[in-house]
Amino acid sequence: MTHCLQSVVEYMAFQQFSLIPAHVAVIMDGNGRWAQKKNRPRVFGHRNGARRVRELVEAAGESHVKYLTLYAFSEENWNRPQDEVNALFKLLSQYLKSEIDHLHRNNVRLRGIGDRTKIPKSCLTLLEQGESKTVLNDGLQLTLALSYSARSDMVSALKHIAQKVRSGEIDEGDICESMIANELSTRELPNPDLLIRTSGEQRLSNFLLWELSYSELYFTEKHWPDFCRKDFDLALASYARRDRRFGTVAKNELSTSPELVQGST
Ligand code: IPE
Ligand code: IPE
Ligand code: MG
């Protein structure tokens, strides 16, 4: 293959690749309604929802998504009936127990974000074991948001920055966007390119509020326990059709509009 042809092929591969979001965040919603429709208790929905997670992790890896962040339990979810909270953490522990080796074998790195002081000890131990076992894995970067609140995360970040200003370590004028981003629990992750929320609700529910500033949003009516590989592919296909302008003008307008490129009037 000639050098020129090779670079065209590489360029096309790159174009192809940039249509795939590097980071997908998912609000896995609708377990309760799914169960209700079947006249079953909410926990039946949670159990079936938990079963879907392995499929999603595999689908993300196979689609070359590099980061997958899953909203598993919010700070506000502590206000649910105690029985439901207990059942959810039991399922989370079961998930971690049964999946850590599988994740590790597949080169997945596991992280947790959220308020660890509130997570039941048995579940937290499993999470920490999973994190240390997979710490060197450089495949899919899987993050579970547990007892997570974006606002609390921002409050902690701001308190830490305020301390640094008070101690004289930094100057107030040094505070910038990247400094704030580096104080958030997501500091090791790029911002999500795509947010998927299942079950019809069109809200963020206190998830990654800073990080989602410029993400593409995708909402589907499917309840989480029904969300399968095909649905994930549909979300990726929708993303691939989006024109992410980040406040500027469309890429095709930039290249075809000499006025814009040359800045002439
Ligand atoms: C998502 O399903 C699971 C968690 C929030 C833990 P829900 O339990 O919120 O289900 P719906 O929204 O009530 O149907
Ligand atoms: C968001 O779902 C939290 C998770 C999916 C873990 P919720 O069901 O708790 O959110 P709201 O109550 O509809 O906003
Ligand atoms: Mg819900």
At 78-113, the pLDDT tens digits run 999 999 999 999 999 999 999 999 999 999 999 999
pLDDT value of position 258:
57
- CA–centroid distance, 5 to ligand 1, in Å, is 51
The CA angle 118-123-128, to the nearest 5 degrees, is 95
Quick check: CB of 88 below 6 Å from ligand 1?
A: yes
Cβ(199)–Cβ(30) under 8 Å? yes
CATH number reported for the structural domain that contains residue 241 in this entry: 3.40.1180.10
Structural domain boundaries, residue 135: 13-149+191-262
How is residue 248 written in tokens? 């500027």
What CA–CA distance (Å, rounded) separates 37 from 45? 10
How is residue 91 written in tokens? 């399922």
The atom number, within ligand 2, closest to the CA of 77 reads 9
> What burial class does residue 56 get, using C-beta atoms within 10 Å of its C-beta: 0-12 exposed, 13-18 middle, 19+ buried?
buried
Cβ(145)–Cβ(27) under 8 Å? no
Quick check: CB of 216 below 6 Å from ligand 1?
A: no
Domain count, the chain: 1
In the residue annotation, 252 being an active-site residue is answered as no
Residues 124-143 have pLDDT tens digits of 999 999 999 999 999 999 99
Question: For the chain, first and last CA: distance in Å?
Answer: 44
The ligand whose atoms approach the alpha carbon of 88 most closely is 1
242 falls within a domain? yes
In the residue annotation, 29 being an active-site residue is answered as yes
250 falls within a domain? yes
The ligand whose atoms approach the alpha carbon of 46 most closely is 1
Kindly tell me if the per-residue pLDDT of 265 is higher than 50: no
137 falls within a domain? yes
